Amino acid sequence: MLTILFDGVAYGMLLFVLAVGLCITLGLMNFINLAHGAFAMAGGYLTVVMMNRMGISFYWCLPAAFLFSAVLGVVLERVLYRRLYDKTHLDQVLFSIGLIFMAMAAVDYAMGASPQIVKLPPSLSGRVEILGAQVGIYHLFVIVICGLLTIGLQFVIAKTRFGSRLRASVDDGRVARGLGVNVTGIFALTFAVGSGLAGLGGALGAPILSMDPSFPLKYMIFFLIVISIGGTTTITGPFFASILLGVADVGGKYFVPEIGGFIIYTIMVAVLIFRPQGLFTRSAAR
Amino acid sequence: MIPDSPNKPAGWLLWRTRWRWYELAFWAAAASSFFIFPSKLMLISEIFILGLLAVSIDLTLGFAGLVTLGQGAFFGVGAYAAGLMAKYGAGTAPFSDPLLGLLVAGSVAGALGFVTSFLVLRGSDLTRLMVTLGVALIVEEIVTQAKDITGGSDGLQGVMSSPVLGVWSFDLYGRTAFWYALIVTFVCFWFCRRLVNSSFGLSLLAIKGNPLRARTIGMPVNTRLVAIYTIAATISGISGGLLTQTTQFASPDMVAFHRSADALLILVFGGSGFLYGGLIGAVVFRVMQDFIGNITPQYWLFWVGLVLVLLVLFVRGGIIGMLMALRERFSRKGEGS
Amino acid sequence: MSEAPKPVLETCALRKAFGGITATDNVTFSLPPGARHALIGPNGAGKTTFVNLLSGVLPATSGEIYLNGVNVTNWSVRDRARAGLARTFQINQLYADLSPLETILIAINERENAATSWFRPLGSRSDLVDEAAALLAQLNLADAMHARVGSLAYGRQRLLEIAIALASKPQVLLLDEPAAGVPEGERDQVLDVVAALPADVSLILIEHDMDLVFRFAKTISVLVNGALFVEGTRDEIARDPRVRQVYLGEEEIAHG
């Protein structure tokens, strides 16, 4: 029981790291980047290549995945994405679905269609007992890393100068621009960090989520659910949404496997019907 | 620009909705492909069906301005409804009748469309995308989980429709399938064409253009959106039923996400808001798929993605939009000289 | 007192607050049939908010709105429009890709419940099309009937904005700065149309332009900070020193 809760929380925190970049960029530029999962996949596959083909330690893969996806993100943002900010949501959706398809086919071409397996280093495999429950060490590791990242992000956003500018831009981009905030620059940086976090999430997820070319499509719906429940105005909203989703998904698949797959979709549709502005958003929805 | 013949404004409006020569040419070409490509009849039938699905999306997206990512749900529901009718009604003539099957496919999909339409009334484009996608995913999940009824991931086997109108049975070469798909597609298209050229169609454009203005005119915006969403779902269901009947098979692939994405791509590729965009897009898409699929079957998806990206970046209004821009340029040159 | 006609539009202690800011403050107001009433006030006085409350675009925080004696406070925009309340927008809300004829037809179709006809092609009700054409002719838009609305000059778009409202044959018409942004050369056209509006329609005009207000309105209300500051006939308002002060005060600030 507690094991499942633990696994669910670990899964949820992983989802948060994967999705948080999307939430912020959506709130900041009102831009739907459905291809966000492709950056996560990039990080995941980089880990696969570094570990399985080059024999590099898993610990080095994490920062490498972050950097790789962040650079990828910033390049794509400057070259392609920025042309789409003033286009319709439909165009943005089509464009990012196009990117997903290209990424899927490219990965398929380079790495094959079968799921890639990443072997955990011995120090992270095995289980420990906490409060009488068997908990995977790796799940613990994921929770610690993601927890630290969340605290770090919250600190940056709440306490630093960059964070206050970011918050101002999310609140009202026009006003922020008028006050001399470089919204475009903030956006590029946020996009890079968000993509990097997705890449890091992909690397962290490589051992436990199955890493195959359909990854961006499979997790796209999770990201959308996180956004629809958590909203895009804060990062605490998506955080709690991710945890809720992780626990519901893991728990649902364990206790009621026949309908486990429905649970998350049902949550999403229910939230959109009853609280179209999201469960964990500020009451003054914009 | 106003032509001489219809001087009265009403006459001018009517004149604009008449059948043009290129429309007749389009349908004549569609029918004559039976004789030109006798070995490709199944492929051509599928083009009609995909085209019809794209046309149904055009009703919501191109005319009413509702963004949807889940039309595959209605397509799939129609496909399975028609498949189940044919499978369990096999032998007992009235139930496996293909036309009755289409009627049921359309009704079931329409009913689902009506119920879910209330979800797309509120919120922004983003919530609409998520809700329609969510509905499609739930339908997909139901189809794969309900193995006893749908056959799960193996698909629905043993779909055998009775002969069309009791006369023409579905043959191996797809001859009956071709004419059946063509005629059903044409009838549905004709219906859509009447719809968008009517007062009702104009009011949809008003909602798409500016819902607030439409309300201040006194328009019941939500009622209209429910109506068009339901109609579009019905037509999607009919096209799904068509696919099951002509291929004698229904699989979870018919409700999968890529169905919705492909159909949307087909529409945007052809040009949304013109009705013909869906049909032309389907021709180009399917022919391209057949062509590239023969060279590199695995990486077809890459080219679809590339086309999508280029389309969004460089082409406004799809193929029809490009043709119209060309015509404008030529006519302007003509005036200049 | 008894011969005073029943008002077509009334508000009772109407209030609208956005967070801590009160944009409409306790406005009690009534509009007799056939009125030519102007609503003026300095920038940010809440004029447009008031129109949005009347037409239902914004929900009121408290207070009531009556249309022909019926409480319509909780009615939707659409229901109020059907009950005879039409409005124009300060910023054009038009269909750039349609033609003026189609635009007017949309409104006439709704009024005549003809918009649910889905089978007969547009234009088969020639009586409605003729009415639309006649309305456009009345507003000097006949020559552009089939043009793209987006290609019309700004002043003509403003006229179309008024034409849409007229097409629904309203009892009460709210004109939100009809001449705003219209270049000098096209202004007279708009003013003439406003002056020639049917006498039985009760009008509320929101305007910055004092020429237009004094040329056109018989009665005037002045809004300041969301509240009714003073009400009266045109001459009373013109002479009222307090009104002068409100406007002069604003000018002093503007110049200072």
Pick the residue of B285, B292, B301 with the most A CBs within 10 A to test the interface with A by mutation. Answer: B301
- Distance from the B157 Cα atom to the nearest Cα atom in chain C, whole angstroms: 39
Q: What pLDDT is recorded for position C2? A: 47
Provide the CA A279 distance to its chain's centre, in angstroms. Answer: 19
Asked if the model's pLDDT at residue B64 lies above 60, the reply is yes
Identify which of B125, B265, B302 has the shortest CB distance to residue A102: B302
- Tell me, yes or no, if B215 comes closer than 8 A to chain C by beta carbon: yes
A237 located within any domain: no
- For residue B84, CA distances in Å to B43, B77, B150, B238, C60 come to 23, 10, 8, 14, 53
Question: Percent of chain B, pLDDT > 70?
Answer: 94
Count of domains observed in chain A? 1
ipTM: 0.85
Core vs surface per residue C102-122: b (16+ CB within 10 A) or e: bbbbbbbbbbbebbebbeebb
Asked if the model's pLDDT at residue B2 lies above 60, the reply is no
Contacting subunits of A (3+ beta carbon pairs below 8 A): B
Identify which of C81, C129, C164 has the shortest CB distance to residue B9: C129
| Domain segments of chain B as ranges | 37-256
| Domain segments of chain C as ranges | 9-255
Pick the residue of B312, B313, B315, B316 with the most A CBs within 10 A to test the interface with A by mutation. Answer: B312
Q: What pLDDT is recorded for position B223? A: 92
User: How many interchain CB pairs under 8 A, A with B?
Assistant: 117
Give the pLDDT mean for C146-164.
89
User: How many interchain CB pairs under 8 A, B with C?
Assistant: 130
| pLDDT band of B3, cuts 50, 70, 90 | very low
Residue C226, classed as helix, strand or coil, is: coil
- Distance from the C256 Cα atom to the nearest Cα atom in chain B, whole angstroms: 39
Identify which of B119, B131, B301 has the shortest CB distance to residue A101: B301
Q: What pLDDT is recorded for position C254? A: 44
Give the pLDDT mean for C163-176.
91
Identify which of C77, C98, C130 has the shortest CB distance to residue B216: C77
Task: Report which DSSP code applies to C5.
Answer: P
Task: Report which DSSP code applies to C121.
Answer: B
Asked if the model's pLDDT at residue C253 lies above 50, the reply is no
- Tell me, yes or no, if B92 comes closer than 8 A to chain A by beta carbon: no
Q: What pLDDT is recorded for position B278? A: 92
| pLDDT band of B75, cuts 50, 70, 90 | very high
Residues 6+ apart with CB under 8 A from C166: C86, C135, C139, C173, C197, C198, C201
Higher pLDDT, A244 or B58: B58
From first to last of its 286 residues, chain A has per-residue pLDDT tens of 777 787 888 888 888 888 888 887 787 777 778 888 888 888 888 888 887 777 777 788 788 888 888 888 888 888 888 888 778 878 888 888 888 888 888 888 887 777 777 777 777 777 777 776 777 788 888 888 888 888 888 888 878 887 787 777 777 767 777 777 777 788 888 888 888 888 888 888 887 877 888 888 888 888 888 887 877 777 788 888 888 888 888 887 777 776 666 777 777 777 767 766 665 654 433 3
Q: What pLDDT is recorded for position A73? A: 87
Q: What pLDDT is recorded for position B93? A: 62
Residues 6+ apart with CB under 8 A from B251: B153, B154, B155, B156
Q: What pLDDT is recorded for position B336? A: 47
- Distance from the A18 Cα atom to the nearest Cα atom in chain B, whole angstroms: 18
Q: What pLDDT is recorded for position B73? A: 93
Q: What pLDDT is recorded for position C104? A: 92
Give the pLDDT mean for B86-107.
80
* Lowest model confidence (mean pLDDT) among B112-116, B332-336, C51-55: B332-336
Distance CA B252, CA C137 (A): 58
Please, which residues bridge with residue B156 across strands? B250
Identify which of A83, A106, A268 has the shortest CB distance to residue B134: A268
Q: What pLDDT is recorded for position C256? A: 35
Per-residue H/E/C for chain B: CCCCCCCCHHHHHHHHCCCCHHHHHHHHHHHHHHHHCHHHHHHHHHHHHHHHHHHHHHHHHHHCCCCCCCHHHHHHHHHHHHHHHHHHCCCCHHHHCHHHHHHHHHHHHHHHHHHHHHHHCCCCHHHHHHHHHHHHHHHHHHHHHCHHHHCHHHCECCCCCCCECCCECCCCCCHHHHHHHHHHHHHHHHHHHHHHCEHHHHHHHHHHHCHHHHHHHCCCHHHHHHHHHHHHHHHHHHHHHHHHHHHCCECHHHHCHHHHHHHHHHHHHHCCCCCHHHHHHHHHHHHHHHHHHHHCHHHHHHHHHHHHHHHHHHCCCHHHHHHHHHHHHHHHHHHHC
* Chain segment C87-106, per-residue pLDDT in tens: 999 888 888 888 999 999 99
* Chain segment C179-211, per-residue pLDDT in tens: 888 888 888 888 888 888 888 899 999 987 787
* Chain segment C216-241, per-residue pLDDT in tens: 888 999 888 888 888 888 888 888 88
- Distance from the A60 Cα atom to the nearest Cα atom in chain B, whole angstroms: 31
Identify which of B264, B298, B306 has the shortest CB distance to residue A94: B264
Q: Which two tokens stand for residue C192?
A: 């003439």
- Distance from the C166 Cα atom to the nearest Cα atom in chain B, whole angstroms: 10
- Distance from the A20 Cα atom to the nearest Cα atom in chain B, whole angstroms: 17
Q: Which has the closest alpha carbon to B134: A183, A150, C17, A228?
A: A228
Provide the CA B265 distance to its chain's centre, in angstroms. Answer: 11
Give the pLDDT mean for B79-108.
83
- Tell me, yes or no, if A84 comes closer than 8 A to chain B by beta carbon: yes
Q: What pLDDT is recorded for position B51? A: 95
Identify which of A106, A228, A258 has the shortest CB distance to residue B127: A228
Q: Which two tokens stand for residue A193?
A: 């960090």
- Tell me, yes or no, if C40 comes closer than 8 A to chain B by beta carbon: no
Contacting subunits of B (3+ beta carbon pairs below 8 A): A, C
- Distance from the B224 Cα atom to the nearest Cα atom in chain C, whole angstroms: 8
- Tell me, yes or no, if C149 comes closer than 8 A to chain B by beta carbon: no
Q: What pLDDT is recorded for position B92? A: 65
- Which residue, chain included where needed, has tokens 């502005």? A277
R_g of chain B computed on alpha carbons: 20
Contact across the interface for A258 and B145, Cβ inside 8 Å: yes
Give chain B positions within 8 Å (CB) of A99.
Answer: 305, 309
Task: State the architecture of C9-255 in CATH terms.
Answer: 3-Layer(aba) Sandwich (3.40)
Q: What pLDDT is recorded for position B242? A: 93
A6 located within any domain: yes
Contacting subunits of C (3+ beta carbon pairs below 8 A): B
Q: What pLDDT is recorded for position B317? A: 78
Distance CA A1, CA B18 (A): 69
Distance CA B39, CA B273 (A): 33
- Tell me, yes or no, if C146 comes closer than 8 A to chain B by beta carbon: yes
Domain residue limits at A81: 2-216
Give chain B positions within 8 Å (CB) of A87.
Answer: 312
Core vs surface per residue C61-73: b (16+ CB within 10 A) or e: eebebbbbeeebb
Higher pLDDT, B129 or B29: B29
Q: Which residue of B has its CA nearest to A228?
A: B127
Identify which of A94, A103, A109 has the shortest CB distance to residue B299: A109
Distance CA C175, CA C179 (A): 10
Residue A248, classed as helix, strand or coil, is: helix
* Chain segment B182-196, per-residue pLDDT in tens: 999 999 999 999 999
